[in-house]
Amino acid sequence: EIVLTQSPGTLSLSPGERATLSCRASQSVSSYYVAWYQQKPGQAPRLLIYGPSSRATGIPDRFSGSGSGTDFTLTISRLEPEDFAVYYCQQFDNSPQTFGQGTKVEIK
Amino acid sequence: QLQLQESGPGLAKPSETLSLTCSVSGASISSSNYYWAWIRQPPGKGLEWIGSIYYTAVSYYNPSLKSRVTISLDTANNQISLRLSSVTAADTAVYYCARPLNAAVVRDVFHIWGQGTMVTVSS
């Protein structure tokens, strides 16, 4: 199984700042099969980004994904108050599909 | 509009079999060309795909849980069921049902989620 390791565990930033979240895979994954989710307390995850750079319906363009091979990045260009949450990466290139352990973006 | 709603007992005893139900509204699971998935999240931890079932009842499971999991369709009630046997404290989690973005694909991004149901395994 492919293990996804997300870093940092917690990111402390202020609104308006840029957030860069990392997801490293234990073996190479096609960028077409990587996704990112946002989860707020008490809620189900919400799909943000999938494939190389596709945003899910209703996701603002301040969210973007990039990467290849084993290293993938979610970037939030300018943090809005509603962006403070936990973010998970997912790979669905190999079975079983797996998720990272999450990065919490908190208000500094 | 498609909606998913999980339900089940909030508490299970060790060694018992856990049974959960996902009620689907806004689509018929017997004619919907999608894999329906169960995903769980232990408290404070990441997500784990449990398994998925197609409308033809073909199912796929995470190898780590395969010996204990059964996912089935109840087409009469438009529900997807999860049974997990021989539960331990490690099975304590929020259990979600979810539908992928794309039809007929077992490995995919999850576009629609239920709100989840918390299950605690404790004696």
A15 cis-preceded (ω within 30 degrees of 0): no
3-class DSSP string for B86-101: CCCHHHCEEEEEEEEC
Query: What integer is the mean pLDDT of A61-87?
Result: 97
d(C-alpha B34, C-alpha B45), whole Å: 27
Q: Could you read off the pLDDT of B83-112 as tens digits, one per residue?
A: 999 999 999 999 999 999 988 988 999 999
Contacts with A50 from chain B: Cβ below 8 Å: 101, 109
Mutation target to probe the B interface, by most B beta carbons within 10 A, among A43, A57, A97, A99 is A97
Contacts with A95 from chain B: Cβ below 8 Å: 60, 106-107
Query: What integer is the mean pLDDT of A12-18?
Result: 97
Buried/exposed A10-21: b ≥16 CB within 10 Å, e otherwise: ebebeeeeebeb
Three-state DSSP at A81 gives: helix
pLDDT score for B17: 97
Nearest to B113 among A45, A92, A100 (CB): A45
pLDDT score for B103: 87
> Residue A90 and residue B101: Cβ atoms within 8 Å?
no
User: How far does the CA of residue A14 sit from the closest CA of chain B (Å)?
Assistant: 23
Amino acid at B63: P
> Residue B107 and residue A1: Cβ atoms within 8 Å?
no
Chain B from 52 to 111: CB within 8 A of any A CB: 60, 62-64, 96, 98, 101, 106-111
pLDDT score for A51: 87
End-to-end Cα, chain B, rounded Å: 39
Nearest to A99 among B47, B60, B113 (CB): B47
> Residue B64 and residue A96: Cβ atoms within 8 Å?
yes
Query: What integer is the mean pLDDT of A72-78?
Result: 97
pLDDT score for A5: 98
Q: How many helices (H) and strands (E) does chain A have?
A: 0, 11
Q: Could you read off the pLDDT of B73-84 as tens digits, one per residue?
A: 999 999 999 999
